[in-house]
C-alpha cells in the first residue's frame, strides 16, 4: 500500500476547571471536516508546506488553527511519521518560492 500525505491542523486544548480558557502551551489535533487536508504526495516537502499555508490562508475567515503538521501514513489511523509543528500567525502570509526571481 502506498504512502499518503496530509496536513493535520492543530488547536490549543481547553484547560480544566471550566474548560473555557485555551492552554496556549500545548497543541492537539483539531477535529472536524476542515482539520485535515490531503496533499499531493508527488510534491516535495516545501511545496506541501506551501500548500498547507495556502489552505490555512483560505480558511482564515472562518477557522483559525494554532498550527499544523505534515503527516505521512497509509491511512488516517495508521500514521508513519509527523513533521515538525509549524505555528500559524494571522493573517497567514504565503511565500511562493516558485514566483521569486
Q: What is the DSSP letter of 24?
A: T
101 confidence band (pLDDT: 50, 70, 90): very low
Cβ–Cβ under 8 Å, residues 12 and 26: yes
Grid-cell match 516537502, residue found: 45
- Per-residue model confidence as pLDDT tens digits over 10-29: 999 998 888 889 999 999 99
- CA–CA separation, 54 vs 15, rounded Å? 30
Owning domain of residue 43: 4-75+82-99
Domain count, the chain: 1
User: For the ranges 67-71, 76-80, 93-97, which has the lowest average pLDDT?
Assistant: 93-97
C-alpha cell, 50: 506551501
What is the pLDDT at residue 97?
A: 56
Residue percentage of the chain with pLDDT more than 90: 80
Amino acid at each position: 500500500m502506498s504512502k499518503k500525505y496530509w496536513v493535520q491542523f492543530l488547536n490549543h486544548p481547553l484547560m480544566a476547571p471550566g474548560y473555557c480558557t485555551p492552554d496556549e502551551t500545548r497543541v492537539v489535533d483539531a477535529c472536524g471536516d476542515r482539520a485535515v487536508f490531503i496533499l499531493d504526495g508527488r510534491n516535495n516537502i516545501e511545496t506541501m508546506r506551501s500548500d498547507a499555508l495556502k489552505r490555512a490562508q483560505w480558511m482564515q475567515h472562518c477557522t483559525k488553527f494554532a498550527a499544523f503538521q505534515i503527516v505521512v501514513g497509509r491511512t488516517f489511523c495508521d500514521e508513519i511519521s509527523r513533521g515538525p509543528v509549524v505555528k500559524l500567525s494571522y493573517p497567514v502570509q504565503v511565500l511562493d518560492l516558485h514566483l521569486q526571481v
